[in-house]
Structure 1
């Protein structure tokens, strides 16, 4: 990178999808603070775009599930900044749903948001990055659900597993000019997520994570800075786990008497209210 250090993004241009709120806004702020110019997108105008380093992110409305809209988003970044160095495919999420009764339309929307949209935006970004002497970096924000699904997340887990496989496939095809990596996130404590994990606002969840806390959005943002920067210039096709060590196995907690028994034919269908949007 043409910068004063591996985490200095001065002169670099970044897109963060779903970057107007939650984890995405914190990722955008981290890149702004590191010196980058940042474009965020969403389906509705934010009350205030993310700010950092004395500057503000630019905003373009976009439904990234539409391949044409994905192309317009990337073109907008290039028109505004003259280049594109980093794409963070952050937009995603799903409410919980019973796989036996969920509608085809629901499944299509979840797969479109969590798998197809990252593919479409990455395709458009690659067309720009591969022509740049410095190439570029694509970071896909995934979920532990890709590795360990739980009841109520069938469509979401399948889409996130597909995103992980997509990451590895694109890393093979687009190297060496464009690096493509994946972050596996566990539960993240955001404003919208605090109430999702129960009346105790996630205190019980904290107890089954080896690090004894849910991730903060900054934990994910810092991982993005690493993967996009010079310290990771040989990191390609990686799955970086940002989940505090995963979860202590339920059987271990059950043996220790720390897990209430559940009837064998019925398990809880995911957290109340579903999984928050990234």
Structure 2
């Protein structure tokens, strides 16, 4: 049976939050390459919107922490293209902070960006997706921190753990019209994150990852395409790990460094 190309998104419309730079821009480019109409949002307009194959993403300014702005954002997508098939909740992040001294305002802002904002955008997207032919797909970009917290990330870890739980809850409530899935990302090599992983740009860090390298944004983008496509038509409430197998346990690395087996 010929089912055509399941990764052909021609005629479909994708919204990528935080899609003007970094991982989000790469995700937007992947959907453009696959034929989709793409809308990206952020608080500030990019110098150059994501482009691929001679096509360009539409930029709509929005603060995704503001429910009214989010509702207007989704309305703008529908005004442009008549529908919304895919939402990638990518906007997020946090600087490291000492949990003992961090301010309440900092915690509130981190939770708002990494948990409340995805909820608000998902609600607005669901309003459109649930009534259209073909429904829709929502992909939440999470973090390995939700499973394995690191020092300095208490608020971020709590928010990302909440995002994973939110994914599963929405998957229960909104199927079958709207599928909701989650990607657990690990260490990702991006230009802005290079300094975080040391002077070698992360070459040493790659040694703790079973795959032998840090992820690149394209790894996440390809996972988004899969979860938004018909290939994953029965995948709902899933947590897809895109982290190269995680990290070797510290005990294993210590034994190996001391000349033991491994």
Give the number of aligned pairs.
257
User: TM-score, normalization: structure 2?
Assistant: 0.96
Partner of 1:7: 7
Q: Does the residue aligned with 2:194 lie in a helix, a strand or coil?
A: coil
Q: Give 3-state SS (helix, strand or coil) of 1:195's partner.
A: helix
Q: Which residue of 2 aligns with 1:110?
A: 110
Structure 1 counterpart of 2:254: 254
- Structure 1 residues 200, 133: closer, same or farther in 2, change over 3 A? same
Aligned CA-pair RMSD: 1.1
Structure 2 counterpart of 1:155: 155
Contact 1:91 1:113 in 2 (8 A): yes
Q: Residue 65 in 1 paired to residue 61 in 2? A: no
Post-superposition Cα deviations, 1:53-92, rounded to whole Å, max 9, x if no partner, equal 2200000110000011111111110000000000000000
Following TM superposition, where does structure 1 have runs of at least 4 consecutive aligned residues deviating by more than 3 angstroms? none
1:194·1:202 contact (CA, 8 Å) conserved in 2? yes
**Residue 274 of structure 1 corresponds to which residue in structure 2?**
none
Q: Would you say the 8 A contact 1:34–1:53 is kept in 2? A: no
C-alpha displacement of 1:254: 1.3
Mapping of 1:21-36 within 5 angstroms?
Answer: 21-36=21-36
Other-structure match for 1:194: 194
**Structure 2 Cα separation of the partners of residues 28 and 129 of structure 1:** 19
Q: 1:256 Cα deviation (Å)?
A: 2.1
* Structure 1: unaligned runs, 5 residues or longer: 260-278
Unaligned runs of 5+ in 2: none
Which residue number in structure 1 is paired with residue 55 of structure 2? Answer: 55
Counterpart CA distance in 2 for 1:190 and 1:84 is: 28
Deviation at 1:258, TM superposition (A): 6.3
Aligned to 2:238: 238
Shift of 1:133: 1.6
Higher relative contact order (CA 8 A, sep 6+): 1
Q: 1:179 to 1:258 in 2, by over 3 A?
A: farther
1:132 paired with 2:132, answer: yes
Partner Cα distance (1:204, 1:149) in 2: 20
1:40 maps to which residue? 40
Q: Name the structure with the higher helix share.
A: 2
Give, in angstroms, the shift of residue 169 of structure 1. Answer: 0.2
